[in-house]
Amino acid sequence: MQAMSARQWQWGCSASGSAWSRSRWAGSVGVIAMLFVITAAAGTLLRWQASMSVPIRAIATFVVNIGGAFALGLLSTASADSQLIGGVAGIGALTTFSTFVAELFEIHQIDRGWAWRYGAATFVFGVAAAWIGLTLA
């Protein structure tokens, strides 16, 4: 059996393209997919719990979106797999742009001034949280 180069090990392929190397690669993809699904489910459950824990849903959306921006900043130096699983699956499921826009529209129907403040605060605090996360990473 030939020794594998670092690149072959990274991509899970031996020089001969043996079945062992292909199944090893497929296994790692399966583990990543499983972790992706579990992390996405956890993010969704956390967002649901946050929305149930406060009387005003917009507060929960604001908090999870700002927390998500901070966490994405922290993940900026993590491995690609960690960014995929934690960032795309977990934080992607936790944060919500569509709910933010729907709430912004609802608030706008009631009070335009509050809608502008809510939108601006989300933007400013989100960028600040991401910057702090990037700085700490």
pLDDT at 2 over 70: no
13-37: pLDDT as tens digits: 445 555 444 445 455 778 888 999 9
Give the chain's end-to-end CA distance (angstroms, integer): 41
Residue 3 pLDDT grade (very low, low, confident, very high; cuts 50, 70, 90): low
Q: Which of 11-25, 74-88, 102-116 has the highest mean pLDDT?
A: 102-116
31/14 Cα distance (integer angstroms): 20
67-94: average pLDDT: 92
Nearest CA to 66 out of 124, 129, 121 is that of 129
Looking at residue 4, what is its pLDDT? 47
Looking at residue 1, what is its pLDDT? 46
Nearest CA to 104 out of 115, 95, 113, 114 is that of 115
